[in-house]
Structure 1
């Protein structure tokens, strides 16, 4: 799997994939977000990103394209993003999900009460307004 960082001018395919998946797109161009395109055998397969600075960061906008699902792409993308984060000095990744909690638990993430999120995570737009209060909060240590 090949991972390429997207510039702000290259976000439209990600935006469209997120809209089709019913995921938030309102803050994609805001500072502090890094999004990536994932390809296999010259085919676009997925997108994902990381938000924030410091030891705790938020996984963002993970989406495997329709027709590419069920082939392990999500797990491979997650490993690539975790490796990228480790190389950036990230100690813990966090995320919110409405529908994929079981997938992330199977990848070593732990469901936690939202009140346990560090302030750098709980103050993000994802926590404050973009994701519903019913979304599951998960976290994983990388070290």
Structure 2
């Protein structure tokens, strides 16, 4: 599997992957793609995605999804590590995320559960925090 920067032509595949995994895709636009990465299989098909949405020196880790056909290979972990490296290279000091299903996965990756209201006003006003992710979603944070 190859992880690379997302390209404009990947948008539909990313959205389909997110929707197939029950994740929000309505706010994923061409404007967000510069901070997205995708994993592609040997045939060049997009089988994974991860994105960062920047807010000052913090970023929202979002849209981490792996196609059913590529699960069990460590790809989710590799995508998260890749996004964390991108965040560090861009001098992001904190990574935040919201999840309803992957708390244990992210805890193994070093994220801690935090009170959702401890996020910055900018993060709280984001579409993910304010509209797309339910109030029951677990908020997590990691220093990068």
Normalised TM-score (structure 1): 0.90
Alignment match, 2:142:
140
Between the aligned partners of 2:63 and 2:32, the Cα distance in structure 1 is 14
Alignment match, 1:107:
109
- Shift of the 39–102 alpha-carbon distance from structure 1 to 2, 3 Å rule, reads same
Contiguous gaps of at least 5 residues in structure 1 = none
In angstroms, what is the RMSD of aligned CA positions? 1.7
Deviations 1:103-128 (A, max 9, x none): 00110000011011122211110000
Matched, 1:4 2:9: no
Alignment match, 2:15:
15
Q: Which moved more, 1:29-38 or 1:98-107?
A: 29-38
Alignment match, 2:124:
122
Contiguous gaps of at least 5 residues in structure 2 = none
Between the aligned partners of 2:142 and 2:134, the Cα distance in structure 1 is 21
| Alignment check: 8 A CA contact 1:45 1:73 kept | no
| Alignment check: 8 A CA contact 2:55 2:123 kept | no
| Alignment check: 8 A CA contact 1:32 1:53 kept | no
Normalised TM-score (structure 2): 0.90
